[in-house]
Each structure stands twice: as structure tokens, then as C-alpha cells.
Amino acid sequence: MLVHGAFHGGWCWRRVVDRIHDRGARAFTPTLTGLGERSHLLRPEIDLSVHVTDVVNLILWEDLHGIVLCGHSYGGMVISGVAEAIPEPIGALVYLDALKPAPGTSLWDHLTLEGRAEFERTTSDGVVLPKPAAAFRVNATDVAWVDEKCTPQPLATFHERLTRTDHRSHIPRTYVYASGYGIPMLERFAEEAAAEPGWHRVDLPYGHDLMIDAPEEVTDLLMSIPT
């Protein structure tokens, strides 16, 4: 189960999904409400809980078990909420250059003052405009494609905090750090993961959108994780 980050959609996993299918495995790439091909549903009141429910319901309706649940960037918030809501079907968690939140925190809580100001400058009527692909250090060949596909996201998804008890401690967890992007917040999460029991850290020398820049390496990693 591959969960995209802010402003993206299930489309961003296309190269990874093709490789997973070629190896005889199944992959699901839900697009979160209001984004990507579901951008016609965009409204300011969509929050993190809605996106968590998107993924929870897909797991329940597809009767999935032993899942490798991977979240990219903001998707780390989503998969953390899913793991707290229904930990039983999840065999492993993978944070792909992602938010690694503690219970009771939001994405907003982890931003610097400058990061918050940047989002506020690009917010209108409760909706945040997407960052340009170049800001994620996407490879030059794919910049125009990513810019074309990215869509706005409700600010409420960044503000809502995880509120449940943390049920993730027993689930094996991997943090994949994009050292070619290397912003301090994500570097800190990678360092925390390397020091905490139950975590495994992997570094890949690419930009933030690893599933686009390094699909072969990301697929190899996902397929190697036991559940």
C-alpha cells in the first residue's frame, strides 16, 4: 500500500507499481480525497482524518493483511494514523523521506517558522498551492510532468494532530532518507530512526520524490521487507 505525499496523487507511484506487478506482487496506490484525479472533491474542511479514512477503508474493503504500508512525505502522517487506527493488518511501515510524527503532533508542529510562513503565503481560502517540483529536487527530465500533475491541498490536513494511542511500536519500521534533498526536518527524523529500537534506516542519494527519481531502488527496498 503506497500513500503519496502532499500535492501529489496515486499517479506518482506509477513506475514503482509497474515494477512491483512485474515481480508478481500486488500494489495499491490510493489517491487521497481532494488530490490528483480526486481534485474535484477538494474543499477546505478536508483534514488528516479524512485521508486516514481513505486508506483505512481501502484496507478493509479489499480485506488486506500483512501489508507493507509505505508513506511518502506528508504520507507519513497518514500511515501513522492508519497504523494507530487498524494496526492488525499491517506487517511493516515504511517512511519514504516522510514525516515521522509522535502521537499528538501535526505536520505543522514540525515545521520551522519559515516553513509555516511559506505555506501561509501560498494559502488561499484554506487551500495551499503546490510547491514546484524543482523545490523537491525532482530530476530535470520529470520536472514539467510533476508540476503538471500536482494539485492544491487543504491546509487543515497540515494542522490536524494525531490523537490516538501509539499502536505502532510492535510493527517493524523503516525510514528511507533522501540525502539528495536533505532538509533538516527529514534528516532529524532519519537520525531518530537510526537510534530507536524497531527502526531500520536506509539512505538513497536522490531528491525528495524517490518513487519518481529512483523507482528501481524503491521497489527493491519494498520487495525486500518481510511481513
3-state secondary structure of 225: coil
Q: Is 169 a catalytic residue?
A: no
- Active-site pick, 73, 124, 169, 224: 73
Cβ atoms 54, 30 nearer than 8 A: yes
Unique residue bearing C-alpha cell 529536487:
137
Packing angle, helices 215-224 and 14-22, rounded to 10? 50
CA atoms in the 13 A half-sphere facing the CB of 23: 15
User: DSSP assignment, residue 203?
Assistant: E
Cα(68)–Cα(65) distance, rounded to whole angstroms? Answer: 9
- Angle of CA points 109, 48, 212, to nearest 5°: 90
Tell me the CA end-to-end span of the chain in Å, nearest whole number: 13
Catalytic residues: 73
